């Protein structure tokens, strides 16, 4: 299950060496046979040589790791009612709102690889919901996401209707809710463990500068 963001991280050998500042994650060398099996399953299903740090957090409870891999495969890293670009936009925005550098960086990277523009990404990272670099329907989507993140108890049928009027289907609205809520959870796990940014966005920018120089 190769995804666009697998192409460049595969060239990085240091991802596996990233240390969590607060609580140890489960490195492969010290993993139980059950966790080692799940790590191998991840590599096979996602065609990625490195196991991301966030999965190493989940591996402290192997059944949770198993379920999170299922979510990644069925919801997070596939196009569904929402395409990958909009899922990554939501993930990046929520992570930026929650001051999660690890997730904001990795999903900003994925947003760019899935066709998101640099101006749109800058607006998402700045949580600028008035930016004209975002389409009108995207600004409405992110306002909805922000409300879920900060005041979900105030969501009403009027909020849903505003999303519908902007062109979002009920299944897309449901997926936006799921992705937003899941990343509220993921951000808190990553921040509490103390995972640092992997600087994947910097890798993307460096690669594209090199590509541009090569075509000059």
Count other Cβ atoms within 10 Å, centred on residue 141: 26
Does this model's pTM top 0.85? My answer is: yes
Q: Is the pLDDT of residue 144 over 60?
A: yes
Neighbours of 107 (CB within 10 A): 30
pLDDT at site 216: 40
| Average pLDDT for 141-165 | 98
Domain definitions of the chain by residue range: 1-12+22-78, 84-189
Place 196 in a pLDDT band, splitting at 50, 70 and 90: very high
CA gap 95, 80 in Å, rounded: 21
pLDDT level of residue 164 (50, 70, 90 thresholds): very high
Q: Is a pLDDT exceeding 70 seen at residue 37?
A: yes
Structure-model confidence comparison of residues 203 and 186, the more confident one: 186
Write down the mean pLDDT value for the chain.
90
Q: Encode 78-142 in three state secondary structure.
A: CCCCCCHHHHHHHHHHHHHHCCCHHHHHHHHHHHHHCCCCHHHHHHHHCCCCCCCCCCHHHHHHH
**10-24, 72-86, 134-148: range with lowest mean pLDDT:** 10-24
Fold that domain 84-189 belongs to in CATH = AhpD-like (1.20.1290)
pLDDT tens per residue across span 87-127: 999 999 999 999 999 999 999 999 999 999 999 999 999 99
Question: In angstroms, rounded to a whole number, what is the distance separating the alpha carbons of residues 129 and 123?
Answer: 7
């Amino acid at each position: 299950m190769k995804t666009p963001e697998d192409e460049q991280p595969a060239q990085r050998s240091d991802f596996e060496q990233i240390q969590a500042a607060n609580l140890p994650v489960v490195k492969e060398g010290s993993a139980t046979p059950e966790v080692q099996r799940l790590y191998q399953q991840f590599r096979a299903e996602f065609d990625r040589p490195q196991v991301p740090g966030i999965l190493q957090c989940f591996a402290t409870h192997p059944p949770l790791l198993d379920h999170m891999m299922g979510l990644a495969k069925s919801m997070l890293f596939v196009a569904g009612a929402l395409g990958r670009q909009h899922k990554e936009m939501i993930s990046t925005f929520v992570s930026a709102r929650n001051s999660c550098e690890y997730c904001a960086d990795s999903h900003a990277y994925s947003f760019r690889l899935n066709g998101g523009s640099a101006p749109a990404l800058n607006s998402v990272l700045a949580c600028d919901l008035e930016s004209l670099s975002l389409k009108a329907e995207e600004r409405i989507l992110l306002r909805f996401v922000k409300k879920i993140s900060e005041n979900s108890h105030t969501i009403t049928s009027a909020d849903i209707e505003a999303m519908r009027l902007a062109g979002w289907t009920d299944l897309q609205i449901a997926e936006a809710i799921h992705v937003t809520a899941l990343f509220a959870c993921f951000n808190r796990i990553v921040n509490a463990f103390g995972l640092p940014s992997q600087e994947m966005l910097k890798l993307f920018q460096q690669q594209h500068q090199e590509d541009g120089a090569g075509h000059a």
